[in-house]
Amino acid sequence: MATRKKVRAPEKMTEPEIVMPVVTKSEGKRRYLLIGIALILGIGFWLYKTNNFPIVAVVGMRPVTRFEVNRELYKQSGKSMVDNLVTEILINNELKRSGVVITDTEMNEKIDTIKQSLGEGQDLESLLAQRGMTLDDVKKQLRLQMGVEKLLASKVALTDDEITKFVTENGQYLTATTEAGKKDEAIAALKQQKTQTEVTAWVQDLKNKAKVWYAEPDSTSVVQ
């Protein structure tokens, strides 16, 4: 009689043991120290590149902080600077509300006109750099100015009588030699005068209607 061959049962599979790395207390401290140093260096680099580093000078062992400089600058002309920023915000808000937009084409045409008005051999970017400004700074100012002029354009319309009177009274100061040229000069001068008058009144009206809170350097609050 044939014997039955025994079949061995499969061995039970065991899950692999996961060995966690052992971090000593000294290694943990060193790791946190390196992370801290990396963060400090990163923040310092960002402050330096954005010109916001809190220390602007060191005299001996005594640091001069940006806060001290800003405080002194504010005492000298801070109210004027803040007022300019407030006015800029008010104008921008009103232009947005009125839907007034200065296109890139209009801006480029204005920049080209400015460049053409410069003397021979003069470069706009170089002149701006001497004053600590960039072309973007000028465009920002022009966009504001051109926006207000566009908004108030209907209020600076000229009549023929105004133009004729200006030429008659100021003809000796005009540089053009033809009547048409003198008329163009009169129109440009009158528009500038009227625009300045209207803009001044318009901005003042905006400020009178706005509620603006000013914080003085001596912690005195002013509400306008």
User: What one-character DSSP code corresponds to residue 152?
Assistant: T
Mean pLDDT to the nearest integer, 190-215: 86
Strands annotated E in 6-152: 55-59, 62-65
Condensed to tens digits (0 to 9), the pLDDT of residues 93-131 reads 999 999 999 999 999 999 888 888 887 778 888 888 888
Distances (CA, A) of 181 to 7, 63, 111, 193, 217: 117, 62, 24, 19, 53
For the whole model, what pTM was predicted?
A: 0.60
Report the C-alpha gap between 20 and 172 in whole angstroms. Answer: 95
Condensed to tens digits (0 to 9), the pLDDT of residues 150-200 reads 998 888 888 889 888 888 888 787 888 888 888 888 888 888 888 889 989
Where are the domains positioned within the chain?
29-99, 102-156, 158-191
* CB hemisphere CA count around 156 (13 angstroms): 22
